[in-house]
Structure 1
């Protein structure tokens, strides 16, 4: 079921959204200048620009998302005030809007990949034809998973719209779309989950995380392939068939990131590399048609796509403010001596994972649980890889089963399937994945 559409926003709304898009773009541009080491701008301007863009778009955010983001920001600010006036904490008020700006800048940078495709101004959908049965199921999961590592949520719509041409989407198709994308959070360097984790645990070993996260993602695909045909008759269920050409972009992008990370700019984090590399590749691709063409496409992206990211941008910024407020209050109240766990080992990691997934079931985005957990831990460098795997696993499982996760809300808005329906059909999947995650945590520490 497609949502009804009106005649579109009025002129004042279009101008406000365009201004917000330009403000967000300015924030990312300032962030990129910081990577050179010679930026004339204060790093705090990044946060100011992103928050200003969010404020301009605030009324356009869906009510449920706006309420959640608003509570996060209000609680974070209240905690900072309690820390300052209740415990005499020294707070840099100019920096309170800096939380998660690295992640938001990366998300905006990745969005520019949408400019790579056919050069007529539309992102090119994945190529291939629909097939049925098990082959179609694994094709849908694999297509969304691999393409989603770069294109993120837009891949679900690309593949979902392609499948919908054969008829209304069914439950197993929704589940394949949901699990294919959410499981990419276990290892993809282009996902917001990885950006958050790299910011919270900068000493994590990325190669070790991928070595454990990628097998977990493959297990998620295998579980989907074994489970769904036993529960549903899929003989006539359309699936997605990928062509080798579809893999060129994600493989090329990942290769470029690794070249910059290990050879060209080893001093920069992967989050920073993605932030400047994705827009650069998009611009270079479009410049073959001339500067005027490129400027037109960037302008269109800025005034349409960037304002459309208002939900995720607001959530990450407000969660960053919550994290800063909570960690500041804990430090002020305990003299920086209290932590949730004296030792962060497998039992503590498993408990943390379960708590974040449980919070997802009641409607909280995993970033909230991950951020709160990081703020009450004092992680040594050796513990940060274990924390990273906990956070990524909780994000992958939590977004698949959480009724109010971004993927489930997007499926509801686009195709009419409820988040509760998705949660009910993913509970068994989440249980099996939980057992696999706990086993992987034990292997990591053994």
Structure 2
């Protein structure tokens, strides 16, 4: 074991522990989580694959440049000690999710036996499993399902697309998604029942489109899918139940992401403790010095993307700090134009949260228009994250399974175009039936 790898793994573990402490009254000093994670990334930088390293470095450089320009050109107030905090909560969640590998014994990680579910049924199982469980557990479900599929061999493009679309389409309706949390903040008087009435059918259309399109484009007869059998669902369903217990009963003040961050490591520890403290500490130590440094690709991409988002949003806020509004009235044509602009910007590399936040800052919405805005924001998030090379799902697939985010974008262009047509029709229907 290379010493700097062990040190980096310890820093990543420390970042996770510090993040969990922020959920309690024992809050660590400000920005310490980000410093630990960035220092670990610096130690592992030379080991990151060249393509990933170039992309991460470019993101960080652009973000830092935009922060400097925002202060120099627009006198923006920059919290320089805190510029490394972007996406640290997401990285901490990813680190927490990695402890799935510590649950149970090592023999549980062997390749599954028996014949896998393949073909269109297998693809439907993958999409449906990720969609239903991901609507609660968010990004962690992709790793649960993806790692199980990977036991039979490297993930193929159809499997990766199923994971991508199954999760991203849940943003259309799930009340537990980060997108819904952002939208509820920006449009507090939206009507969720209306969102569900339009968003859920669109999500189901996404599933049918995915299965049909991938069945035509790829030979799926030998492509394993995720089986919705009780055995394969035991882990994710159990975790979903625990998350709901904490969210609604034990820790209602914490977000789903925060609960996942501490709950999965806690379950991992609890599953190992019956074999003794020495066994448990050895498993955690092994995980810290081997698995956590191996996450360098995911961690670097998310941290640098967070710095880019912070720089871009700060620059845009500083440059557009005026009293004018983008539209005198936010109607269906304005909604469709806004949706298209956010999706196109996502395909160009901007996370949809940037477009949604910028749009909200330039609108003066009355209560009657907030539901339409909320639908536009959620739909653009769902379609934009599927196709956007810098979205959380595509960065995760690149870091975890080695697929190029740009390739995922190209593979999803046709899907995004079809979903765009359906969303535009839904916007017109929403206004017509209003």
Give the structure 2 partner of residue 36 of structure 1.
Answer: 24
2: CA distance, partners of 1:35 / 1:146? 27
Q: What are the residue-to-residue correspondences of 1:251-270 with 2, within 5 Å?
A: 251-270=237-256
1:244 lines up with 2:234 in the alignment: no
Give the structure 1 partner of residue 379 of structure 2.
Answer: 390
2: CA distance, partners of 1:400 / 1:223? 21
| Structure 1 residues 112 and 20: alpha-carbon distance in aligned structure 2, compared to 1, 3 A threshold | same
Deviates more, 1:281-290 or 1:201-210: 201-210
Q: How far apart are 1:373 and its partner, in Å? A: 4.8
Give the structure 2 partner of residue 21 of structure 1.
Answer: 9
Q: Is the 8 A contact 2:169 2:206 kept in 1?
A: no
> 134, 137, 142: which is aligned to 1:152?
142
Give the structure 1 partner of residue 282 of structure 2.
Answer: 296
| Structure 1 residues 202 and 101: alpha-carbon distance in aligned structure 2, compared to 1, 3 A threshold | farther
| Structure 1 residues 129 and 349: alpha-carbon distance in aligned structure 2, compared to 1, 3 A threshold | farther
Give the structure 2 partner of residue 317 of structure 1.
Answer: 303
Deviates more, 1:82-91 or 1:27-36: 82-91
Q: How far apart are 1:444 and its partner, in Å? A: 7.1
> 65, 85, 97: which is aligned to 1:110?
97
Q: Is the 8 A contact 2:70 2:314 kept in 1?
A: yes
Q: Is the 8 A contact 1:44 1:95 kept in 2?
A: yes
Q: What are the residue-to-residue correspondences of 1:2-151 with 2, within 5 Å?
A: 11=1, 14-39=2-27, 41-116=28-103, 118-120=104-106, 123=109, 129-142=115-128, 150-151=140-141
Q: Is the 8 A contact 1:346 1:442 kept in 2?
A: yes
| Structure 1 residues 233 and 401: alpha-carbon distance in aligned structure 2, compared to 1, 3 A threshold | farther
Give the structure 2 partner of residue 7 of structure 1.
Answer: none
Deviates more, 1:129-138 or 1:393-402: 393-402
Q: What are the residue-to-residue correspondences of 1:133-282 with 2, within 5 Å?
A: 133-142=119-128, 150-153=140-143, 155-162=145-152, 174-187=157-170, 194-195=177-178, 198=181, 215-230=201-216, 241-282=227-268
2: CA distance, partners of 1:179 / 1:290? 40
CA root-mean-square deviation: 4.1
Structure 1 gap ranges (5+):
1-10
Structure 2 gap ranges (5+):
none
Task: Specify the SS of the correspondent of 1:152.
Answer: helix
Deviates more, 1:29-38 or 1:148-157: 148-157
**TM-score when normalising by structure 2:** 0.78
| Structure 1 residues 45 and 389: alpha-carbon distance in aligned structure 2, compared to 1, 3 A threshold | same
Q: How far apart are 1:234 and its partner, in Å? A: 5.4
| Structure 1 residues 60 and 247: alpha-carbon distance in aligned structure 2, compared to 1, 3 A threshold | same
Task: Specify the SS of the correspondent of 1:179.
Answer: helix
2: CA distance, partners of 1:421 / 1:75? 22
Q: Write the deviation string for residues 78-128 of structure 1: whole angstroms up to 9, x where unpaired.
A: 222222233333322221211222222122222222222x41265466676
Q: How far apart are 1:74 and its partner, in Å? A: 1.5
Q: How far apart are 1:36 and its partner, in Å? A: 1.0
Q: Is the 8 A contact 1:141 1:180 kept in 2?
A: yes
> 401, 422, 426: which is aligned to 1:436?
422
Q: Is the 8 A contact 1:401 1:430 kept in 2?
A: no
Task: Specify the SS of the correspondent of 1:130.
Answer: coil
Give the structure 2 partner of residue 8 of structure 1.
Answer: none
Q: Write the deviation string for residues 377-421 of structure 1: whole angstroms up to 9, x where unpaired.
A: 42879578446513541344316999x94477579848xxx8887
Q: How far apart are 1:345 and its partner, in Å? A: 6.4
Task: Specify the SS of the correspondent of 1:89.
Answer: coil
Give the structure 2 partner of residue 370 of structure 1.
Answer: 353
